Copies of this chain bind each other. A is one copy, B any other.
């Protein structure tokens, strides 16, 4: 079993209203040292090796389902193998 963490975020130029609202809230709490917040989501996907390389599965499910390339991009990292 391998667990891969897939990170999905808005593309650079896409407006992130959540990040904006959270930044404002952090400032109103007095944390002026915080310069900005961007929000993303991640998926910890547990994959059974064997049939095909883990990378391939990750690529396929990201492109078919988890990511909308019109506005999002993704990256991933293998968390653990056991």
- Expressed in whole angstroms, the Cα–Cα distance for A5 and B57 within the complex equals 25
Question: Closest Cβ of chain B: how far from A24's Cβ, in Å?
Answer: 11
Residues of chain B within 8 A of A51, CB atoms compared = 33
What is the interface of chain A mostly: helix, strand, loop, or mixed?
mixed
Residues of chain B within 8 A of A49, CB atoms compared = 33
Which residues A24-61 have CB closer than 8 A to chain B?
A: 25-26, 29, 31, 33-52, 57, 60-61
Residues of chain B within 8 A of A22, CB atoms compared = 43, 65-66
Question: Closest Cβ of chain B: how far from A26's Cβ, in Å?
Answer: 5
Are the CB atoms of B1 and A42 closer together than 8 Å? Answer: no
Closest 9 CB pairs of A and B: A38-B44, A35-B46, A36-B46, A33-B48, A41-B41, A40-B42, A37-B45, A33-B51, A37-B43
